[in-house]
Amino acid sequence: MSRIDKAFEPPGHRALVAYVTVGYPDIQATLDVVPLLASCGCDVVELGIPFSDPLADGVTIQKASFHALQNGVTPGVCLEVAGQLRQHLDIPLVFMTYFNPVFSYGLDQFAADCAGCGVDGLIIPDLPPEEGSDLEEITRRQGLDLIYLLSPNSTEERITLVTERSRGFIYLVSVTGVTGARDHLPPDLKAFVGSVRQKASQPLCVGFGISTPEQAKQVAGIADGVIVGSRLIQLMEAGDDFRPQVSGFVKGLRKALDEASSA
């Protein structure tokens, strides 16, 4: 059983997945916040590799990505950071990136270096499963999970394809659009999750727009995991004193998910 598989154990446990941009506001902040997230109840951490054209991301993560690039953060730096984190953490670490940086690095070499530094999987929003077979084979050889996304407007054919090919879990995008904290969850989210559930054997995690414990609890009632990113990035903008705010927020999320699990 992989580290990602274990994140969804025991049965009924709702996984909390947190996203941070590597190098935002600086490298030390990433090295500080990821262990904090784990200690407060996060089951999986997505490490965002900054990219100049993050098509799936809203203003908050776009800004964080731009700032990290200005700090000189490259895929190589992100691999080094992941390796440092792995020395002290046992929770799954997943790179969230775009295909261009992976392609430029070299598919085989990137997958090998990810495995070498203890990364467990990849999320690449602009890589559709129709074009992912090469990277699927490469990541499988390295023991990495290639995690695909589904949006609410996915066709039945696309849902079937992703449920056949995604490893680790399936990332369900709650809304058609980009990442970002939102006040309300879409009314058709339950139906969307249910339609994927009919075909999927993998855990289903919902992201994009979840920013409060109340929203997390709602999602945990219908899905296996909740993904939170933009709100965490916003809290980290407080500077050196972000730790108390991040800690309180994540503990609130963890409590909400545990309440949903036991309901």
Burial of 226 (0-12, 13-18, 19+ CB in 10 A): buried
Has 57 been annotated as catalytic?
yes
* Spatial CB neighbours of 107, under 8 Å, sequence gap ≥ 6: 134, 135, 138
The SS3 of residue 20 is: strand
- DSSP state letter for 97: -
Q: Which position among 43, 57, 145, 224 bears the catalytic label?
A: 57
* Residue among 176, 116, 179 nearest 144 (CA): 116
- Beta strand 225-228 with 15-21 is parallel
- Catalytic residue at 157? no
Report the length, in residues, of the chain.
263
Q: Which of 43, 46, 113, 224 is catalytic?
A: 46
- Token pair for residue 82? 């992941």
Q: Which sequence positions are flagged as catalytic?
A: 46, 57
